[in-house]
Amino acid sequence: MSSDVEGIELRPVTADEAPRWMQVIEAGFGEHLEPGAVERELTVLPLDRTIAAVDRDRIVGGAAAYGFTMSVPGGGSVPAAGVTAVAVSATHRRRGILRAIMRHQLDDVVRRGEPMAILNASEAAIYGRFGYGLASSYQRWSIDPGSLRITRPLPERPPLRLVPQDEAIDLVRPIHDAAVAARPGMVRRSEAWWRLVLGPDEQWKGGGKLFVAVAEPFGADPGGYALFSMRDAGAEGGLVMRVRELTAATPDTEVLLWHLLTTTDLVRAIEVDAAPIDDELRWWVHDPRAVRTVALRDYLWVRLLDVPAALAARGYGVDGSLTLEVVDDAGYASGSYRLDVDAGAATCARRPDGTDADVRLDVGALGAAYLGGVGLDTLARAGRVQAASLDALATATALLAGGRAPFCDTRF
């Protein structure tokens, strides 16, 4: 279909066009298309969720989305479009093509009945103007295992075991599914996705030569796992461990996995790709400086489209009522809404425009607060939320608090 940009057509990619489309997307991120990348990606990405920006017969940009199910506060889940592969060729920048692509994609998400879109941003300054709000962050760690001793007592349970990478999917997939429900922001992975995470070819979703440590289910504990790799430490001797994922639904399992990793022979340093900002490891060791944060980065950006469906899907720690006025320059989520929570269960309905609101905020601020990663009181101090009174702000903040910090361990 035509777009608002003269001469640019926006449409799904055909199977024959997929290699060229991916070349354009990869170039937009400064990368070259690797052999086998197209075939791998098409195992998880439906072509009808791709967008090609076409100038005459030439693909000059695009985007895509995965169909995810994301966990929300309270242990529930919600459908979410996982936006990915957003790029415009350098030859066609500053022509409004990105804005047209984003609008086209959000229209498609609405048609599919998904109440929100989520993404992780290559540049954090881009997506706020499209209504996305920063909803989760993560930290990268550098761990000195020689200076680290875990002081939390280790639980008594069967020993961990190392599992061959090509035999691990059936063990780790149900463990991950259980962990998804325990933390907001996590997304379920299909078997095809797991074949990329644990596949022999290293790419941005995972894969490569991995070690897989598994704590099998024990009683009511669903177990846990760690995916890690090793490389030579160079002139210093020994090994550097890179922890790609460490997933556990309970502290007992998590401490067992960390104990294994931090006491592995020959390891001189440990690099952790991503840890939740409220991870307990620093509180389990005698020297918290041995766990050094080397980066704190944004990850999930949330764009609400159907406010009643989104707010009714999540749980709430307190009961109460709240009237919100949401401002959305694109129009998808604009309006007044009444949220009522009774015994933790929520209903949300649109109210007539002009209804007196307890809080007024833009759709990006509501997306930022949706998973509980930032309080409405913080956003109010930042000028992103206006409240009718301090009591109204306190009620709104308490209602949308989320418990555990949101986190997503899936690269998309």
Of the candidates 68, 127, 225, 332, the residue annotated as catalytic is 127
Of the candidates 225, 316, 370, 412, the residue annotated as catalytic is 412
Active site residue 29: no
Contact at 8 Å (CB) between 205 and 34? no
Active site residue 412: yes
- The residues annotated with a catalytic role in the active site are 127, 412
